[in-house]
Amino acid sequence: MRVSALDNKNKNEANNSIRPLPFLNTMLTIFGLSCEFHQRCQKYLCTFYFFYLAALCTLFGFASVFVLTYKMEFVNKTLNKSIMLTDTIQTVYDYFQYIVDIVYSFRYGRFFYHVYAKQYSTVDRILGKEMICIAIEERFKKSCIFLMMLWFLSSLCDFSAWVLGYGWIIPIVYSLSYVFVLIKILTTLDLTSNIMHIQFRVRTISDIIQNYYNSAKCLPGMAACDTVRNNDWFYCNGNSKKKDGSDAQNDSNLNKEEINKFHFLSACYLLIIEQCSYINQMFGMRILLNSLSLFIDMVKCLNLVIRMMVGSQHTLYNAGYFPILSTIVRLLTCIMILSIVVIHCEKTYRESDRIVSLIDNLVIIKDPDVGMRETMSDLRNLVQSRPINFHLANVLRLDYSLMASMASVVTTYTIILLQTIT
């Protein structure tokens, strides 16, 4: 059955609401990880679609087996046992993780992605689509460029260090690990893009509340307690009015469109919570495995750096301190891959906190009418009872405490490897 013109228009509107960067979407499509790619292939080119995914899995499977065989025969004899163990585990683990990435992308992209995108278009009709999408695209480009340049730099340095220490053949075989790191980065950027869509829409809700707050009158004697209107204080996001309140307006002067927005803010927040549920289902297990892979890589790099510094691990050729520096760059790359996601998760949590803080100030310091007071109180209760959370398959929450815990675990396991395996 042919898709009607109206259905095509709705799908295009829904997909444009999340506007992925063409470069990222192309790279994800090449590795079979693009949700939009899975959605398009649901009706068209199904035979080629399944053949392409099977070919990717087979290709990376043969490559992983070949690399493992080559390492065991020619390389592992020259490596410390602890480095050999972590490297072998990571090669097998990375391929397993890639298969899981494809399965989850296929499942949620093919069957649920259109509904997910469509709900964004519903929210954007109320909050203002163009402003949100442009802001997200500009911010996301910086994260994308930063991670891709960091991956290129770390891969180039690591490859050069292997060439100086072991010649050309072994580094070429080991270059498969750079491809798996690239896949981790692409998955991380895909998740970061989706988190930023949540973050900017929650920020838009808090901006709407702050704009109303700035236009409402204070209760008698409460003007000195009004910290929200202070341009140098925490709530300022470019929406604060002048400190003296000279341009404050009565809330009754708000136009009908502005008033209607407040009645839909709770509905928008509910839709955003549903979007978070999709993101957690789509990426939770994948990022959990991704984080474990980065953990293995960090343990391996830290172990290698320490052993090369103390002289228990040598290269075939004298490469000086360059292998140590290149390994440190790779270690920092692993840290930044996870940090980018956590930072944007924390920014989203702070926007939710900002909503609650603004409503508290509005109810206590300002004098909204009864209807507006009830509307804001309902939104506050909803935000507190249904907080935004991004988690790793319901095991760990993506926040700063995760980074501290991972740093502690990496240090612990590195010490164990240094003391028990020589």
Each residue's pLDDT tens digit, 35-56:
888 777 765 666 777 888 889 9
CB contact at 8 A, 206 and 276: no
Band of residue 232 on the pLDDT scale cut at 50, 70, 90: low
Band of residue 4 on the pLDDT scale cut at 50, 70, 90: very low
Q: H/E element holding 391?
A: strand 391-392
- The domain segmentation of the chain, as residue ranges, is 14-420
Lookup: tokens for 256: 């009908």
DSSP string, 126-187: HHTHHHHHHHHHHHHHHHHHHHHHHHHHHHHHHHHHHHHHH-SHHHHHHTHHHHHHHHHHHH
Each residue's pLDDT tens digit, 60-100:
999 999 988 888 877 766 666 777 777 788 888 999 999 99
- pLDDT exceeds 50 at position 358: yes
Band of residue 311 on the pLDDT scale cut at 50, 70, 90: low
Band of residue 185 on the pLDDT scale cut at 50, 70, 90: very high
Neighbours of 26 (CB within 10 A): 12
Each residue's pLDDT tens digit, 101-142:
999 998 888 888 888 888 888 888 877 665 666 677 778 888
Model pTM score: 0.85
Return the closest-CA partner of residue 200 out of 267, 263, 129.
129
d(CA 223, CA 236): 17
d(CA 354, CA 272): 16
Q: H/E element holding 397?
A: strand 396-397
Q: Which pLDDT does position 6 carry in this prediction?
A: 39
Each residue's pLDDT tens digit, 270-296:
999 999 999 999 999 999 999 998 888
